[in-house]
Amino acid sequence: MRVKTFQKEKELGIGSAVTKSLEIVETPKKHLTIVEDKISKEKIKKLRIICLFFKDSKKDLNRLAEACLRFTPQVSVRENEAIFLEVSQCRRMYSEYGLMMRLSSLAKRFGENPQISLAEDVSSALAMARFQVEQVDYLPVDALCDYASPFCFDEELDKKTKKIISFLKVLGIESLKDFFSLPSGTLTSRFGAIGMKLVQRIEDSSQEPWPLYKKEKEIIESENLWENGDFYSLENLESIFFKVQSAVDRATARLRGLSLKASRVELSFEQGKNVPLGKRRRSWTLSLSLAQSSSLAIVPLLYEKVSLSLGKFPLEGSVESLSFRIIETVPGNSAQKNFFSFREEEMEEWDSLVLRLTRRVGEGNVFYKKPRESYSPEKFWTRISEYDLLLEEKNEDVHSERAKKPNRILKVPEPLMLVGDYFLKKNGNQVWRILQWGRPEAYSPEWWDLNHLEEDDRHYYPVQTEEGNWIWVFRTSQSPGNCFFLHGFFD
């Protein structure tokens, strides 16, 4: 029987190893269709690798790699040289060009200016970024060192590869395109196993195992306030906080990459040698009642705390360096940004407002509340946690009930006097002109509460004032006709 070979490799774009698996004995057409369908499901998925190459970088790239985790979970670092990101699974969230621009912007926040490339394998991405070439064929033959060991520098393997490169240059081979023209069968006899390994890496290095990425133990960002051996002109606290802002920006970028939020942070200033050794370091710890992952919320709170502290105990010398450390974290929201909603930004701004209010009026005086059914107006609301609030927001009845009752209820009702179309406070310091009266409601004391059993029934009226606000007033069955009490406000 004649052996028939399908030309499927042309469609799949794969090598001769798959071609052999497609060689079958000629059989009925029904069986051939089943075999073709089975092979078509085994198409190799192409990877998309972005490489950020840093020429002569002396900084720790793991910090930037942590910030890149927000785009893809598959990240690897070549020590002091490159960061690799596998982005084939997030094509629908980011365009490749847009993602490369965002990575370039993120790297600048860390003081880096990388060369960026995109390829279908790690080795090609590294070589194309290093030599700034857009196609593999035009890479110089020196790029074979990157194909030999893409994820780390192997000194022994690098020496052997450079010997091969020098021999190839003697033969007049200057690019990888010329290297491909060499018969693959002669590479082993000429260059040994390394030569064959290089060819295999160039043809397909998608199966190269990625090393395990190890995250940093803690998040610390520092700023050195020296430039050319001299101090910056830091005449006031605002100029110092320009540097604090940069450090906090980098720390929060790493937080978002790890899907975390900061609940406790520390800012430290290191003063010059003219200050006694025991007083050189000044530190401030800030505990956040609501965890944050945005520098816009953290920096104002730090500035407020540091300025109050320095107002009492000023710095004794110039600041040489500063550091920002995240002491405690909590799990954050790992969901991607919703491009059709600004709720995430609104929640960040709301949390920032709550934090500032908490710092001003005290932690126990700022809280979330929800309405509840009660016969007593003083018990219309109850305190809840932030987590319970998120659950309650899904209930539409809560919103309708919230609109019927005042948001602010006074602990002690204030007496009012009705004079014509005006409400007057008895002390005379405030006057409201009445525009309209709302629908009245009657409330009786709870019969099971013995402490309030002797209280009179109350008749409540929402009243719109000339300023456009609504107030909540009541009168009892024993009150004179012009005597009312102010009990709340509709904000």
Q: Is the pLDDT of residue 425 over 70?
A: yes
Query: Do residues 92 and 51 touch, judged by C-beta distance below 8 A?
Result: no
Confidence band, pLDDT 50/70/90 cuts, at residue 402? very low
Among 110-124, 369-383, 395-409, 465-479, which stretch is predicted with the lowest mean pLDDT? 395-409
Please give the pLDDT value at position 224.
86
Instruction: Tally the C-alpha atoms within 13 A of residue 16's C-alpha that lie toward its C-beta.
Output: 1
The more confidently predicted of residues 347 and 37 is 347
Q: Which fold has domain 219-333?
A: Dna Ligase; domain 1 (3.30.1490)
- Using left for φ > 0, alpha for ψ between -120 and 50, and beta otherwise, residue 360 falls in alpha
In angstroms, the CA 75 to CA 37 distance is 34
Single-letter amino acid, residue 298: I
- For the chain, helix, strand, coil in percent to 5 are 40, 25, 35
Average pLDDT over residues 375-389: 62
Local confidence band at 86 (pLDDT 50, 70, 90 cut-offs): very high
Residue 457: pLDDT band (50, 70, 90) is confident
Tokens of 196: 């064959």
Gap between the Cα atoms of 80 and 63, Å rounded: 11
Q: Work out the average pLDDT over 332-358.
A: 67
Question: Token pair 């990388």 is at which residue?
Answer: 114
* pLDDT tops 60 at residue 4: no
Output phi, psi for 234, to 5 deg. -105, 85
pLDDT of residue 249: 95
DSSP notation for 32-45 = HHHHHHHHHTTPPP
pLDDT band at 276 (very low <50, low <70, confident <90, very high): confident
> Which has more confidence, 457 or 20?
457
Name the β-bridge partners of 425: 416
- DSSP string for residues in 243-285: HHHHHHHHHHHHHHHTTEEEEEEEEEEEE-TTS-GGGSEEEEE
Residue 47 confidence class, pLDDT cut points 50, 70, 90: confident
Tell me, what's the pLDDT at 129? Answer: 94
Looking at the DSSP bridge assignments, the partners of residue 370 are: 382
Helix 193-203 to helix 155-170 angle (10° resolution) is 90
Q: pLDDT of 291-336, one tens digit each?
A: 888 888 899 989 989 998 988 888 888 888 899 999 999 887 655 5
Mean pLDDT (the chain) is 77
pLDDT at residue 2, rounded to an integer: 37
C-alpha 407 chain-centroid distance:
33
Stretch among 12-16, 68-72, 176-180, 297-301 having the lowest mean pLDDT: 12-16
Q: Are the C-beta atoms of 244 and 319 separated by less than 8 Å?
A: no
pLDDT higher than 60, residue 199: yes
- Could you read off the pLDDT of 245-257 as tens digits, one per residue? 999 999 999 999 9
Segments making up each domain of the chain, as ranges: 3-40, 53-203, 219-333, 367-402, 406-490
* Contact call for residues 414 and 425 (beta carbons, < 8 A): yes
Alpha carbon of residue 236 to chain centroid = 31
Q: In the predicted model, is pLDDT for residue 95 greater than 90?
A: no
